[in-house]
Amino acid sequence: MRPEVLFKLFSPITGLPGIGPRNAKLVEKLAGAKLIDLLWLLPRELIDRRYSPSITEAETGKVATLTVSVDGHVAPPNKRQPYRVRCFDGTGFITLVFFHARPDYLQKMLPVGETRVISGVVERYRDEIQMTHPDHIVPPAEAASIRRVEPVYPMTASLSPKTLSRAIAAAMEDLPVLPEWLDPAYLEQQRWPDWRTALLSAHAPEDAAALSLLTPARARLAYDELLANQLTLAVMRARQKRGNGRKLKGDGALRRSVLKSLPFALTDTQKLALKEIRDDMAADGAMLRLLQGDVGSGKTVVALFTLLNAIECGGQAAIMAPTEILARQHSATITALLEGSGVRTAILTGRDKGKGRQELLARLANGEIDILVGTHAIFQAGVEFQDLMVAVIDEQHRFGVHQRLSLTEKGRGVDVLVMTATPIPRTLTLTVYGDLDVSRLTEKPAGRLPVDTRTISLERLPDVIDGVARALGQGAKAYWVCPLVEESEVSDMAAAEARHRELSARFGDAVALVHGRMKSAEKDAAIERFATGSARILVATTVIEVGVDVPDATIIVIEHAERFGLAQLHQLRGRIGRGEKASRCLLLFGQPLGDTARSRLKILRETEDGFRIAEEDLRLRGAGEVLGTRQSGLPEFRLADLAAHAELLAVARDDARLILERDPSLKSPRGGALRTLLYLFERDAAILNLRSG
């Protein structure tokens, strides 16, 4: 249960001044629905209002705070003209300009003959000194209410900055004093303030330097967030590893027979990964390992042998994929490789309903299914295994810590192998997986030829189509990738449907189409036609980015390649070069081609190394964009910036490990404070998973 000291921070923003139902919605979108969400919104800029010259001294373009007397109001002759208020001081005149003004309101704010303190940007129009819509207008007695250095918050349209600032200021009143969760020695060494002081000071920058991510206040808040992240992952990992893990050591019979039937030998890194997995499974604790390998590096075989180890031990195994297409692909691959082995496989996706599903679940619970392949549907309540020993989670490009946990709940001390094709930098793996064991497949399977990658202007589309026609004549198969699903009047993007029609006009039935708005049965059917060869061109959107495996496809054409991200192009290109025949990737670009796009396409021509491409992507796009994408499932930090705070992340990892070693149930006084930290960052689940007692 959340400690009382945090109650106020978790109360709804609707209690704040100026936050009625309409503004609440806007603030919620911007920050969140609770006070604490608003407090995490730190200023990005500031407005310095300390400049207080006389009117004639005031520099054009600068923000100034002036003390003036009101001389007179000039209502406009028509509504298009602004309302003007003339003011003066001992040196000269300034005109305040208001568009769409409410005269009665302005007369109240600026009564003739009175003195007012105003603050805003000084402008000059013809020979007049002006200020359009001053940010502040107050009587001299209230001058102190104008903040001399005003923080500027990230904004959303139609929410006034004043409302937001006022709400944040109100949320900051009576900030609780929280118990210190940081190690006192570290705190002292860093010269960081306590949490409350840090938050107050982050919201009250005195000058531009105070906006730096590296000030003691900001660094402290960032560290808190990173520590909560690392501690959560460490708790989950400890939970996964402790106690009820089983020593699994199959006799190798199944694996040997499957190995014999493989048309290839395992690569050295596949062998190494399998040895590491074998050792993990044979050890006391449960396995929690990440298998990282580029597209086409051969992760599926590694996954299969991992599953077979459990089956040799008399248990069950599961493999989960992020999409239905991929689940079916895994199912088909695995079933084919296991032919004649006696291993019973089944597939469960969201599409399975009713009686068929009931029967499948019954067989699963009875132990009549050895390997269950599926989508997230296998996490659902009611899916019971007789004895689940190992789970492989193929995350490809999405990440889901939650799902990983709910699957392990379906058995006792389930061994978990997570597979990813995203060659993310070490920093990122840490935030997603914590301090996890990692195996990497770094070589391409033997016999693979490099993909010949070329960039071609879209103007040469007819030549490209002729080229594809010649290749088809020699038996090739080609992917044809378009950026958008439907034709849009505002955009000149080649739409998949239009391209499909056009290519069909030339190649007839040999062209299949797959895109994201099709039902999954239709998608499967299209890919199936392409896989079996009844279709020889597959026109597609990026839905084929993940997992589609048609080894004899040797051509991929990507239209408007300049509109795709580098990582995405790399994944798309990974669809080819999977068989023994030479493959070709044609990147068609539209004009004009910007510098960044040009560099991106150049890198693709130069290398197929996913790790190098990922690094270049980071360099070209900047950390924020690569790391911050919502749909990737990567954690989004609100206070920490992985580029600026990478070192803090490493410290937080070590800190978290040490904390749990010394105090696994967080019972010490510092442990208690750390629980507050976890609640503060809404890691309630981590607390539930702490070792009890």
Applying CB under 5 A, the site for Mg ion has a residue count of 2
Which stretch in 279-287, 290-298, 357-365, 390-398 sits in contact with Mg ion by CB under 5 A? Answer: 279-287
Interior/surface letters 31-59, b for 16+ CB within 10 angstroms, e for the rest? bbbbbbbbbbbbbeebbebebeeebeebe
Give the residue among 621, 609, 571 at the shortest CA–CA distance from 322: 571
In the complex with ligand ADP, the residue whose CB is nearer, 550 or 566, is 550
In the complex with ligand ADP, the residue whose CB is nearer, 421 or 494, is 421
Contact present, 38 and 32 (Cβ < 8 Å): yes
Instruction: State the binding partner of 245 from ligand ADP, Mg ion, none, CB within 5 to 8 A by kind.
Output: Mg ion
Instruction: State the binding partner of 278 from Mg ion, ligand ADP, none, CB within 5 to 8 A by kind.
Output: none
CA dist., res. 8 & res. 342, Å (int): 60
* DSSP sequence for 603-653: HHHH---HHHHHHHHHHHH-HHHHH--GGGTPPPPSS--TTTSHHHHHHHH
Give the residue among 165, 172, 219, 222 at the shortest CA–CA distance from 200: 172
Residue from 64, 106, 301, 604 that binds ligand ADP (CB under 6 A)? 301
| Closest approach of Mg ion to the CB of residue 389, in Å | 9
Element (H, E) at 372: strand 371-374
User: Within 10 Å of residue 475's Cβ, how many Cβ atoms?
Assistant: 11
Contact present, 515 and 592 (Cβ < 8 Å): no
Q: What are φ and ψ of residue 219, in 5° steps?
A: -65, -40
* Burial group, residue 572, by CB count within 10 angstroms (0-12, 13-18, 19+): buried
Q: Which residues contact 381 (CB under 8 A, 6 or more apart)?
A: none
Which stretch in 15-23, 244-252, 299-307, 340-348 sits in contact with ligand ADP by CB under 6 A? Answer: 299-307
Alpha helix stretches (DSSP H) within 242-353: 253-261, 268-282, 299-312, 324-337
The footprint of ligand ADP on residues 374-413 (CB under 6 A) is none
CA dist., res. 321 & res. 419, Å (int): 10
The footprint of Mg ion on residues 243-262 (CB under 5 A) is 245
Contact present, 124 and 55 (Cβ < 8 Å): no
In the complex with Mg ion, the residue whose CB is nearer, 245 or 664, is 245
CA dist., res. 461 & res. 505, Å (int): 15
In the complex with ligand ADP, the residue whose CB is nearer, 150 or 545, is 545
Contact flags string 195-234 toward Mg ion, x per CB under 5 A: ----------------------------------------
User: Within 10 Å of residue 535's Cβ, how many Cβ atoms?
Assistant: 21
Instruction: State the binding partner of 42 from ligand ADP, Mg ion, none, CB within 5 to 8 A by kind.
Output: none
* Bridge partners, residue 398, by sequence: none
Instruction: State the binding partner of 28 from Mg ion, ligand ADP, none, CB within 5 to 8 A by kind.
Output: none
Which stretch in 69-77, 161-169, 294-302, 637-645 sits in contact with ligand ADP by CB under 6 A? Answer: 294-302
| Closest approach of ligand ADP to the CB of residue 544, in Å | 13
Residue from 245, 296, 315, 322 that binds ligand ADP (CB under 6 A)? 296
In the complex with Mg ion, the residue whose CB is nearer, 13 or 391, is 391
In the complex with ligand ADP, the residue whose CB is nearer, 136 or 397, is 397
In the complex with ligand ADP, the residue whose CB is nearer, 240 or 267, is 267
Which stretch in 190-198, 240-248, 488-496, 506-514 sits in contact with Mg ion by CB under 5 A? Answer: 240-248
Q: Determine, following the binding rule CB under 6 A, whether residue 28 of this chain makes contact with ligand ADP.
A: no
Residue with the shortest CB distance to Mg ion = 245
Q: Determine, following the binding rule CB under 6 A, whether residue 300 of this chain makes contact with ligand ADP.
A: yes
Q: Determine, following the binding rule CB under 6 A, whether residue 293 of this chain makes contact with ligand ADP.
A: yes
**Secondary structure class of 47 (helix, strand, coil):** strand
In the complex with ligand ADP, the residue whose CB is nearer, 422 or 455, is 422
Residue from 136, 515, 570, 578 that binds ligand ADP (CB under 6 A)? 578
| Closest approach of ligand ADP to the CB of residue 348, in Å | 20
Element (H, E) at 222: helix 216-241
| Closest approach of ligand ADP to the CB of residue 412, in Å | 29
Which stretch in 36-44, 273-281, 554-562, 572-580 sits in contact with Mg ion by CB under 5 A? Answer: 273-281
Which stretch in 195-203, 292-300, 618-626, 633-641 sits in contact with ligand ADP by CB under 6 A? Answer: 292-300
Contact flags string 180-219 toward ligand ADP, x per CB under 6 A: ----------------------------------------
CA dist., res. 418 & res. 272, Å (int): 16
Applying CB under 6 A, the site for ligand ADP has a residue count of 18
| Closest approach of ligand ADP to the CB of residue 291, in Å | 9
Instruction: State the binding partner of 301 from Mg ion, ligand ADP, none, CB within 5 to 8 A by kind.
Output: ligand ADP
Q: What are φ and ψ of residue 635, in 5° steps?
A: -65, 140
Q: Determine, following the binding rule CB under 6 A, whether residue 306 of this chain makes contact with ligand ADP.
A: no
Instruction: State the binding partner of 267 from ligand ADP, Mg ion, none, CB within 5 to 8 A by kind.
Output: ligand ADP
Classify the phi-psi angles of 399: left when phi > 0, otherwise alpha if psi is within -120 to 50, otherwise beta.
Answer: beta
Contact present, 658 and 666 (Cβ < 8 Å): no
* DSSP sequence for 462-529: HHHHHHHHHHHHTT--EEEE-SBSS--TT--PPBHHHHHHHHHHHHGGGEEEE-TTS-HHHHHHHHHH
Contact flags string 249-288 toward ligand ADP, x per CB under 6 A: ---------------x-xx--x------------------
Q: Determine, following the binding rule CB under 6 A, whether residue 652 of this chain makes contact with ligand ADP.
A: no
Alpha helix stretches (DSSP H) within 551-591: 566-573
Read off the DSSP letter of residue 295. T
CA dist., res. 12 & res. 399, Å (int): 30
| Closest approach of Mg ion to the CB of residue 353, in Å | 35
Instruction: State the binding partner of 264 from Mg ion, ligand ADP, none, CB within 5 to 8 A by kind.
Output: ligand ADP
Which residues form the interface with Mg ion (CB under 5 A)?
A: 245, 281
Which residues form the interface with ligand ADP (CB under 6 A)?
A: 264, 266-267, 270, 293, 295-301, 421, 445-446, 549, 551, 578
